[in-house]
Amino acid sequence: MTTDALEQCVKKYHLKYYKYNEFDQIKEIGGGLVGKVYKANWKQNGKCLVLKSFNLDNVEEIISEIKLYHEVNFNDVMIKLYGISKTDSDKEYLLVKEYAEGGTLRNYLEAKFFSLNWGDKYGLALQLSNAINCLHENGIVHKDLHSNNILIHQNSIKLADFSLSKRIKDAGQISFETVPYLDPEVFGIIGENSRYLNSSEENKQIKKQKKSDIYSIGVLFWELSSGKKPFADIKYDLSLAERIAKGLREKIVEGTPEGYSVLYSKCWDHDPDKRPTIQEIVDTLTPMVSQQIIQNLKLNHGLFLNGHKIEPSKRAVLFEDGILNISLYEGQPIVYTFINDRDSNIYASIFLSLKLLIPQNQFRTFWTMIEKHCMKPMVIYSQRKF
């Protein structure tokens, strides 16, 4: 495929062209099967960006990646593709992408795990699930999910490196470093036979591969609960792969909420047909996240006369079985009834006064929930650091 095809692709998807001399402080930070990855400073505004290189022999790879990003670039949990550049020697093309300042999920957990509460962990799990849901809805299977290629930006998940997702990898391309995350079934679907499928067989194959993503998600959910790499005390080799294929799984970490451990245990079930779909995972996690937010809120409700002024009373919010129910003091005006959070539905009365203290990394999730379930909310909010 020629560079003309690439130029046509760039025009078709309206990508910005960056001159290579617009970047400085270029530093190699990684590499992959088809090129190197650099961190660079864009001189125009000092913003850090990522440059992913491709040589001219891989023009088809660039076009493939551009097309994939075009399908999912609207989603906030995806690393953004900003444009394209070319080295001064014209020997390499570079995709210009968003830079994730938090590094990989593995690095993030190593540095911050003990400061994370269950609300934080649920939030990361839901963000990851939403990202994979976006891929699956667009007919894309990731097939290489592990904590070293999931990124963190401003304490939130960002998904990258899914450009090879539609292709079935050869066995020689599988690294032992990712064995704990790989569906044991994957060793039965890779190879030459998988390349020659009719449309019916291909649809079945894609469905099977989506279930492989679900397996990887189960392992990642466990990693979020433990802060550790899976099977950290065991050598990553063919022997470990065989033991996993025979049913070896990590033990549930003490203190893990039962609903969460049940969910990830279903995800890594040996039988792909017993694993949930990504939408079922999202539907299960969403009320977990909202319940955790509610647990940590202080809501003002009811009014009382304090001297010469009316003030709101304050009580901690409690919930049971997914339903938030606050009993008002006898004789107080009823300005708050209940919130029913089961199945992500919220029913609320009019609040005269409502003060929410929401961690910054949970604000987007909470606000999305409010916009989705409350009709014409009259809300004034301010953002403060605590």
One-letter amino acid of 34? V
Is the predicted pLDDT of residue 221 greater than 90, yes or no?
yes
CA 311, CA 309: separation in Å to the nearest integer?
6
pTM, full prediction: 0.70
Please, where in the chain does CATH 3.30.200.20 lie? 3-98
Is the predicted pLDDT of residue 376 greater than 60, yes or no?
no
User: Which CATH code, of 2.130.10.10, 3.90.950.20, 3.20.20.210, 1.10.510.10, is assigned to 105-284?
Assistant: 1.10.510.10
Work out the average pLDDT over 171-176.
56
Work out the average pLDDT over 151-177.
67
Please, where in the chain does CATH 1.10.510.10 lie? 105-284
Is the predicted pLDDT of residue 278 greater than 50, yes or no?
yes
CATH class of 3-98: alpha beta
What contacts 16, CB < 8 A, 6 or more positions away? 82, 83, 84, 96
